Amino acid sequence: MPPVTRSTRATADIELGGQPIVLDHSGAAWLPDGGDLLVADLHFEKGSAFAARGQGLLPPYDTVETLRRLERVCARVKPKRVICLGDTLHDVAGEARMAEGDRQRLSRLVAAHDWVWIAGNHDPEPPAAMGGEVMHELKIGDLVLRHDVAEADAAAAIPVGEICGHYHPKAAVRVRGRRISGRCFATDGRRLIMPAFGAYTGGLNAREPAIDDLLSPRFHVYMIGRAGLFAFRRDQLLSDPKRAV
Amino acid sequence: MPNDLPAALSDWFAARNWAPHPHQFEMLDAAAEGRSALLIAPTGGGKTLAGFLPSLAELIEADPAPEGLHTLYISPLKALAVDIHRNLEIHIADMKLPIRAETRTGDTPQSKRQRQRRTPPQMLMTTPESLALLLSYEDAPEIFGQLRCVIVDELHALEDNKRGDLLSLGLSRLTGLAPDARRVGLSATVAEPDRLRRWLSPTRDAGDVSLVLGESGAEPRIDVLETAVEMPWSGHMGTHAIPEVYELLRDGGTTIVFVNTRAQAEIIFQELWRLNEDGLRIALHHGSLAPEQRRKVEAAMARGDLDAVVATSSLDLGVDWAAVDLVIQVGAPKGSTRLLQRVGRSNHRLDSPSRAVLVPANRFEVLECRAAIDAVRAHTLDGIPARPGGLDVLGQHILGTARAGPVDREALFEEVRTAGPYIELSREDFDDVFNFVATGGYALGGYEKFQRLFRTSNGTYEITSPAAVRDYRMNVGTIVEAPTLKVRMGRGRVLGEVEENFVNYMTAGDTFVFAGRLLEFVEVRETSVITRPGKGDAPAVPAYVGGRFPLSTHLADRVRTILSDPKTWADLPAQVSNWLDVQRWRSVLPSRDGLLIETFPRANKHYLVAYSFEGRNAHQTLGMLLTRRMERAGLGPLGFVATDYVIGVWSTKSCEAADLDALFDEDMLGDDLEAWMAESSMLKRTFRNIAVIAGLIQRRHPGEEKSRRQVTFNSDLIYDVLRSHEPNHILLRATRADAGAGLTDVRRLSDMLARVRGRITHRHLDRVSPLAVPILLEIGRESVYGAAIDELLGEQAEDLISEAMDNVGTKELGFDAA
């Protein structure tokens, strides 16, 4: 057994379909070879979507906060291309509600990179007016990048390497009698489910069937702590107590 | 008997051979002058009747009998409102009076509620939440227009919390609708009666409320139980004393056994039944049990069908039972006011003394019990620091007021400032709360088009959307419970509820004690915990959140006084005074005004123990701050544990040569506290409660979890975003105010640090001192924290690395083999 040192690491290196991938504490991931940065489920204008439906006047700072996080990770990683894995906008009307200043910041970011919008269920028409290319899926080598897993793949044939968003995975563990939970990456070596990147995006416990069924029983999560990423095996994760239907 | 008591009433008294108490006449006098009144009396003095007598007299004398709602009675407990109603009905029937009295609570059927709005009864018994809902109807002016009297029962239990805030705002509204209505407060004995008068006053002036004092009864007789076995060094359950407690039950007549937590109630109940060879009828009563179960126990107690009931603070309030002969308090009472109120539950005849026995659970608690008895004898009560009314509650009230009709902002500000807790409310805070209700109140505009309140051309504000109306009605109230699950036996009977958090830690086959039974956890099904009867002996007892009161400042002061003065040890049990003697010889005793700190090595670690006596909550905060400082000083703190009396920290390096004056300097409350508070889960929890009460996020309602998933929002995400973009938002200000003032521990801490400045006594010892033994025993008993979350996760990750190396390749896990 090699000696173990305690250190908090902000990134984790994994392989998916033979391709090395770096998972980042910000919730983004990148492919070191091609300079591609991946983020999923930004859900811009989620706060104002609630307000518009009369469901509460949440602080209207989620878009600017998500933008700030995106700008920071871009500045740090300096990718050639940025790929948003769908649900970039919380709803179809989100783009119209976006404040002018926020729209300009996003446009500047898009202009500074090659940009791919993958369409999601919340935003079948991503904000293409700002530039960038709209796609339904993207292949990089043997990897397929999608918003949701492909229908046929869900139950049967698992692809060689697939990266998707949509599920907002979250993990919970017990440490010294305390329950700690946080957003996480979930992967079984063939499929990688990205955490949601948006400031107001909640999560679904990775042990819920919606996520659990998509991965092999030997999957791992990389949970996002305050400053580091922490790996746990599936059997170390706590489930949520079930609620009334 | 004076002539001004109507014949129906004086005949009724005479028929019972009763004469009204002097305080009942004083209440009649105050009413005759149209004055509000506060009655402070121990239980058993006819307090409730004193509140209702003037109203009964008025209703009897008025000819014709007045229509409409005449008297509103508000109780903090639904069950108490129902009981008071039942008793009053009996009196009304005895006197053959044509008076209609009804209750209105969450349990009242819809049809009855609607009828009550159309044709209100003359007397209505309700709760603060039901009153708030009634006031939010458009027809509130009609319902309350004829009101002459509002009675607030158990005022001492409402004055210092958010339910009281909500009620005080409701009272200010009532005075707006019915300016002639008197207010009547009924309260147990409190340290500062004038504060209650100010709370109750409709005019901001305490002098407008007459203070009426009931006769004080005979002095209570309180003893400390001595036990055969050695007094425990630590622990809070008091199980060592079960044989002696059982003897008391056997000889003592009807007894209430008060304990401090629900978990303790379960254990004491089990242990008593283990010894119960005489077949005593012993019941259990605490807040997690199913309400029907609790009502059954209360009814059996009232009928005299029980020998004893083991209870938590769930029985602190409520109907008087004349037949209680003895009160036993297991575990130290934590405050003299609560002790006095609990002792008052026994023997309601004023001429003979209440009897109580205190059962300390460990050595420190012996001192605390002694201090509490001294305090009761000296008639000194715990002062509770005054707190301003919650701004979240104000937000709820503004929305409710707008629900009833157009709001004049200026008039509402003036009206709110007559409510006791809001007398000092600043215009700025009011405006910020108002704007929050209207548009969210964010510096970054943009929500105007989604506003909840709309400014009309004549300057009043009206509610805009049916959604806002519905949200108000769904969210009224100030109690934000931790999510709970029902505990069921099989698929059948509901035994009560436990917090969801408790179940998170259970796996199939785990056993726990609940509702007095040993249960085995089977599974969670929908919102229920399915259980079956458990086997074996070693259950995991429910770890209910909260329920533990910290030691009061007043008792802490008395405990320090006893400790510092060996002359007062004469009546302590010998093993306790020996313990203190050895401490004196091996180290030194804590002084009354200073702070004793001991440091010593033990098993490759270094310990620091501070004898600060400021209660668990303050010590938890101190522990967080102290370990932060020690970290920076390179002392390598590993963890800490806090009790009501002391705090113990252990570290990799010795604090022998550390600058303790600097370590305990008051400035830790500045930078460190600010930084810690902002990060702490305590502040996030406080924010969640405030966000729900103020109506920013909705409560989860049973059965709606799935359909409304999109609406329930993780408040931590909102907290983080709001804190980084608008740190001075009104809800964050309200959060900081609650966390600071509401919990009182920060203030206690700062008072303590100021007091001990320059008076720190440091003793470096070669081994643990007698006084430090209890805290060392606590280590490992409690979950220890103090490290940052990442450190905890890192710890787990290390275990994982070694495990994972054997199972899967390091490459797959993403860790480099170091």
Q: Are A47 and A98 in contact (CB under 8 A)?
A: no
CA distance B815 to chain A (A): 7
d(CA B406, CA B430): 17
Contact in structure between B289 and B495 (CB atoms under 8 Å): yes
Is A243's CB within 8 Å of B526's CB? yes
Scan for tokens 């600017």, then name that residue: A64
- Using CA coordinates, name the residue in chain B closest to A24: B814
Q: Where does the pLDDT of residue B544 fall: very low under 50, low under 70, confident under 90, or very high at 90 and above?
A: low
Domain harbouring A80, CATH code: 3.60.21
Question: Which has more pLDDT, A178 or B686?
Answer: B686
Measured in angstroms, the CA of A184 and the nearest CA of chain B are apart by 13
Tell me the pTM.
0.82
Q: A13: helix, coil or strand?
A: strand
DSSP characters over B335-402? -HHHHHHHHTTS---TTS--EEEEE-SSHHHHHHHHHHHHHHHTT--------PPPHHHHHHHHHHHH
Are A224 and A195 a contacting pair, CB within 8 Å? yes
Nearest chain B alpha carbon to A17: B812
- Written as six digits, the tokens of B346 are 């026994």
DSSP-assigned letter for residue B216: P
CA distance B637 to B643: 18
Q: Quote the CA–CA distance of B432 and B73 in Å, as a whole number.
A: 33
Q: Which range of residues forms the domain containing residue A191?
A: 11-236
Partner-chain residue, chosen from A50, A202, A241, that has the shortest CB–CB distance to B500: A241
pLDDT, one tens digit for every residue, chain A (245 residues): 232 334 467 889 999 988 899 999 999 999 987 799 999 999 999 999 988 888 788 999 999 999 999 999 999 999 999 999 999 999 988 888 999 999 999 999 999 999 999 998 888 877 777 889 999 999 998 899 999 987 655 545 556 789 999 999 999 887 655 667 889 999 998 899 999 999 999 889 999 999 999 999 989 999 998 778 889 999 989 887 654 33
Residue A44 phi, psi (nearest 5)? -55, 145
User: Are B717 and A65 in contact (CB < 8 Å)?
Assistant: no
Burial of B660 (0-12, 13-18, 19+ CB in 10 A): middle
Distance from the first to the final alpha carbon of chain B: 93
| Residue A3 domain flag | no
In a domain? residue A113:
yes
How many interface pairs between A and B have CB atoms less than 8 angstroms apart? 182
Assess whether pLDDT exceeds 50 at residue B782: no
Residue B321, pLDDT above cutoff 60: yes
Cα A76 to Cα A85: distance, rounded to the nearest angstrom: 20
Chain B environment of A176 (Cβ under 8 Å): 783-785, 792, 795
Question: B404 pLDDT exceeds 80?
Answer: yes
Would the pLDDT of B1 be above 70?
Answer: no
| pLDDT per residue as tens digits for the range B644-657 | 899 999 888 898 98
Give the one of A59, A225, A241 whose C-beta lies nearest to B790's C-beta. A225
Contact between chains at A51 and B440 (C-beta distance less than 8 A): yes
| Phi/psi-derived region of residue A87, left when phi > 0, alpha when psi is between -120 and 50, beta in every other case | left
- Please tell me the distance from the alpha carbon of residue B522 to that of residue B539, in angstroms, as a whole number: 14
* pLDDT surpassing 90 at residue B447: no
Q: State the nearest Cα–Cα gap between B672 and chain A, in angstroms.
A: 18
User: B792, A4: Cβ pair inside 8 Å?
Assistant: no
- Helix-, strand-, coil-residue percentages of chain B, each rounded to 5: 45, 15, 40
Residues of A with Cβ-Cβ distance to B789 under 8 angstroms: 180, 225-226
Residues B722, A223: C-beta atoms closer than 8 Å? no
* Helix H or strand E segment including A170: strand A169-175
Q: How far is B513 from chain A (nearest CA, A)?
A: 19
Interface test with B, best of A21, A44, A63, A230 (most B CBs within 10 A): A230
The Cα–Cα gap between B701 and B162 comes to: 21
Which residues in B lie closer than 8 A to residue A179 (C-beta atoms)? Answer: 501, 504-505
> Which of the two residues, B12 and B785, has the higher pLDDT score?
B12
Dump strand ranges (E) for B480-582: 484-489, 494-499, 511-514, 517-525, 528-533
* Closest listed residue to residue B563, CA positions, set B623, B613, B609: B613
SS (H, E, C) B290-348: CHHHHHHHHHHHHHCCCCEEEECHHHCCCCCCCCCCEEEEECCCCCHHHHHHHHCCCCC
Report pLDDT digits (tens) over B748-760: 888 899 899 999 9
Lowest-confidence pick of A183-197, B148-162, B226-240, B408-422? B226-240
Residue B811 has pLDDT above 50, yes or no: no
Higher pLDDT, B707 or B524: B524
Contacts of A60 in chain B (CB under 8 A): 440, 442, 444, 446-447
Within-domain flag for A145: yes
Reported confidence tier of residue B6, pLDDT bands at 50, 70, 90: confident
Query: CB–CB of A116/A138 below 8 Å?
Result: yes
Contact A65, A57 (CB under 8 A): no
The larger pLDDT score, comparing residue B632 to residue B57, is at B57
Does residue A2 belong to any structural domain of this protein?
Answer: no
Measured CA angle at B701 (ends B698, B707), to 5 deg = 85
Averaged over B576-591, what is the pLDDT? Answer: 89
User: CB–CB of B695 and A56 under 8 A?
Assistant: yes
Interface test with B, best of A24, A46, A55, A68 (most B CBs within 10 A): A55
Selected residue with higher pLDDT from B156 and B814: B156
The answer to whether position A243 is within a domain reads no
Per the domain annotation, does A1 fall within a domain?
Answer: no
Q: Inter-chain contact A189–B725, Cβ cutoff 8 Å? A: no
In chain A, residues with a C-beta closer than 8 Å to the C-beta of B703 are 244
Chain B positions in Cβ-Cβ contact with residue A48 (cut-off 8 Å): 446-447, 450
Residue A149 lies in a domain: yes
List the one residue out of B480, B312, B463, B328 whose CA is nearest residue B400: B463
The HSE-up count of residue B573 (CA atoms within 13 Å, CB side) is 21
Shortest CA distance from B500: residue in chain A:
A241
Tokens (6 digits) for B420? 């006791």
**Contacts within 8 Å (CB) and 24+ apart, B559-565:** B559/B364, B559/B367, B559/B368, B559/B371, B559/B613, B559/B645, B560/B590, B560/B591, B560/B592, B560/B593, B560/B613, B561/B371, B561/B592, B562/B367, B562/B370, B562/B371, B563/B367, B563/B589, B563/B590, B564/B589, B564/B590, B564/B591, B564/B592, B565/B592
Q: What is the pLDDT of residues B200-249, one digit of tens each?
A: 999 999 999 999 998 877 888 999 998 888 888 878 889 999 999 999 99
CA distance B379 to B679: 42
CA distance A245 to chain B (A): 6
Chain A positions touching B792 (Cβ under 8 A) are 175-176, 178, 180
Using alpha carbons, select from B206, B169, B140 the residue that is nearest to residue B74.
B169
- Tell me the mean pLDDT in the region B807-815: 31
Query: Quick check: B220 and B213 in contact, CB under 8 A?
Result: no
Residue A4 has a pLDDT of 31
Give the nearest chain B residue to A236 (CA atoms): B800
Lowest mean pLDDT across A56-70, B187-201, B494-508: B494-508
**Residues, chain B:** 818
Query: If DSSP states are collapsed to H, E and C, what string results for B780-803?
Result: CCECCCCCCHHHHHHHHHHHHHHH
Q: Which of A62, A175, A179 sits opposite B504 (nearest CB)?
A: A179
How far apart CA B309 and CA B346 sit, in angstroms, is 13
- Our CA-based measurement puts residue B35 at a distance from the nearest CA of chain A, in whole angstroms, of 43
Q: What is d(CA B606, CA B638) in angstroms, rounded to the nearest whole number?
A: 10
Residue B520 banded pLDDT, cuts 50, 70, 90 = confident
Q: Is residue A111 assigned to a domain?
A: yes
Q: Given this model, what pLDDT does residue B102 score?
A: 96
Taking CA–CA distances from B725, the nearest residue in chain A reads A61
Domain count, chain A: 1
Mean pLDDT of chain B: 84
Q: Which residues of B touch A13 (CB under 8 A)?
A: 814
Helix (H, G, I), strand (E, B) or coil at B615: coil
Residue B736 has pLDDT above 90, yes or no: no
Q: Prior bond to B64 cis, omega within 30? A: yes
Helix ranges (DSSP H) in B105-218? 110-118, 128-135, 140-144, 162-177, 193-200
Q: What ipTM is given for this predicted complex?
A: 0.87
The domains located in chain B, with CATH, are: 7-213 (3.40.50.300), 221-377 (3.40.50.300), 484-533 (no CATH), 587-665+757-787 (3.30.70), 678-726 (no CATH), 788-818 (no CATH)
Residue carrying structure tokens 């419970």: B481
Q: Cβ–Cβ of B721/A65 closer than 8 Å?
A: yes
The DSSP secondary structure of B64-107, one letter per residue, reads SPPPS--EEEE-S-HHHHHHHHHHHHHHHHHTT----EEEESTT
Which of B794, B801, B813 shows the shortest C-beta gap to A220?
A: B813
Q: Give the closest residue to B344 by CA, choosing from B332, B329, B361.
A: B329
User: A85, A38 in Cβ contact below 8 A?
Assistant: yes
Provide the β-strand partners of residue B39: B186, B212
